[in-house]
């Protein structure tokens, strides 16, 4: 894959070689993310961070990643604060805003909208999530996390067993991650959800076509040898009403007792965040916070590394990062992580 100048819109763009290329660059970003060093490789470059759907982690992660490479960030948040609320087309918005930026990260509530925007953009566009469709950078950071967590236990991605649990119908993170995992070999998938929130047929068909084993169930039992358990929240914003979402809230929660009963002592716990900690939901209980296998915050940290790598690759500076590095002159305990 030739990354320079490319849009990053879908996991379908990637093969195992291009994934590994991203991961190798991400590994090199660790000293900058930990504030052990600085780099000014993107000094003067501007990121247009366009988030037309609520976001905290992804939006800030994109901005942080760009800042850590020395670039500047300009943000638009919320549909109501943009010209789209006045009826402007995505094409026109792209033509104008891309003239102000060197690269654009975008999230939009409508499936396919980021690709539509990219058609009018003069600079690379990175998909930060489009409705219930895709979230390619989340999938890459999830896969990167899986690789690192399993390596710690002496395993690889090929041949692993992953359990995905919760809202698999509207959870774009599991859709994109599954399509990336389809590139690997002999993976077992246990898909746990209410029947109404099952993984879409298109995703399961892709996994079956790639030769992977799939078990679909609405019971937690049966996943006791899982290497990864990937929990998702109920995507209330995708339902027709909060009342409809409430039918499923809290049905597939994971706490310390359930984890101990149904999973191996070293099963890695993942979640794309935010986790819903309200009592009626609590899909990932706070009593797991001290469990060393809870990888959700390492997962979030890895998001900065992956997005730094994608910016460096799409702007063609991945081989120049170290050339522009300098010392950090402020206190940071991140250096000792």
Task: Quickly list DSSP for 140-156.
Answer: HHHHHHHHHHHHHTT--
Q: Could you give the percent of the chain with pLDDT greater than 90?
A: 71
Give pLDDT tens digits for 313-333. Answer: 999 999 999 999 999 998 888
Average pLDDT over residues 299-307: 97
Q: What average pLDDT does the structure give for the chain? A: 90
DSSP 38-84: EE-TTTT-EEEEEE-S--SHHHHHHHHHHHHTT-EEEEEESGGGSGG
236, 232, 247, 24: which is closest to 135 by C-alpha? 232
Per-residue pLDDT tens digits for 118-157: 999 999 999 999 987 889 999 999 999 999 999 999 999 9
The residues near 278 (Cβ < 8 Å, ≥ 6 apart) are: none
| Mean pLDDT of all residues in 213-220 | 91
Does the structure show a pLDDT above 80 at 335?
no
Which band of pLDDT confidence, cut at 50, 70 and 90, is reported for residue 84? low
Confidence band of 184 (pLDDT split at 50, 70, 90): very high
CA distance 68 to 26: 13
Distance CA 59, CA 212 (A): 33
Q: Return phi, psi of residue 311, to 5°.
A: -65, -45
Q: What is the pLDDT of residue 216?
A: 95
Reported as a single tens digit per residue, the pLDDT across 196-212 is 888 999 999 999 999 99
For the segment 215-221, the average pLDDT, to the nearest whole number, is: 87
Contact 107, 128 (CB under 8 A): yes
Res 59: pLDDT: 95
Q: Tell me the per-residue pLDDT of 92-104, one tens digit each, with 9 for 90 and over.
A: 999 999 999 999 9
Q: Radius of gyration of the chain from Cα atoms? A: 20
More confidently predicted of 227 and 79: 227
Percent of the chain with pLDDT over 70: 89
For residues 285-301, average pLDDT:
95
């Amino acid at each position: 894959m030739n990354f320079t100048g490319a849009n990053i819109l879908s996991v379908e763009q990637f093969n195992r070689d291009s994934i590994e290329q991203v991961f190798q660059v991400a590994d090199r970003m660790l000293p900058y993310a930990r504030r052990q060093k600085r780099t000014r490789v993107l000094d003067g470059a501007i990121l247009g961070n366009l988030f037309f759907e609520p976001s905290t982690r992804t939006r800030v992660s994109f901005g942080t990643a760009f800042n850590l490479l020395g670039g500047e960030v300009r943000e638009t948040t919320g549909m109501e604060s943009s010209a789209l609320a006045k009826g402007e087309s995505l094409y026109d918005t792209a033509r104008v805003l891309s003239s102000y930026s060197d690269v654009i990260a975008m999230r939009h509530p409508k499936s396919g909208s980021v690709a539509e925007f990219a058609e009018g953009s003069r600079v690379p566009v990175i998909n930060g999530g489009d409705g219930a469709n895709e979230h390619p950078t989340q999938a890459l950071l999830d896969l990167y996390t899986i690789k690192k967590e399993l390596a710690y236990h002496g395993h690889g991605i090929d041949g692993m067993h992953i359990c995905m649990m919760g809202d698999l119908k509207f959870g774009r993170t599991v859709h994109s991650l599954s399509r990336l995992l389809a590139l690997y070999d002999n993976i077992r998938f246990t898909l746990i959800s209410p029947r109404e929130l099952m993984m879409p047929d298109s995703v399961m068909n892709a996994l079956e076509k790639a030769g992977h084993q799939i078990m679909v169930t609405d019971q937690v039992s049966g996943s006791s040898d899982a290497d990864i358990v990937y929990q998702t929240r109920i995507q209330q914003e995708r339902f027709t009403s909060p009342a409809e979402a409430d039918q499923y809230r809290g049905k597939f929660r994971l706490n310390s007792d359930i984890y101990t009963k149904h999973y191996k002592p070293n099963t890695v716990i993942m979640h794309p965040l935010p986790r819903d900690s309200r009592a009626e939901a609590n899909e990932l209980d706070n009593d797991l916070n001290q469990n060393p296998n809870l990888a959700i915050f390492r997962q979030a940290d890895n998001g900065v590394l992956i997005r730094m790598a994608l910016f460096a690759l799409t702007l063609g500076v991945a081989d120049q990062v170290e050339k522009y590095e300098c010392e950090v002159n402020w206190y940071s305990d991140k250096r000792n992580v």
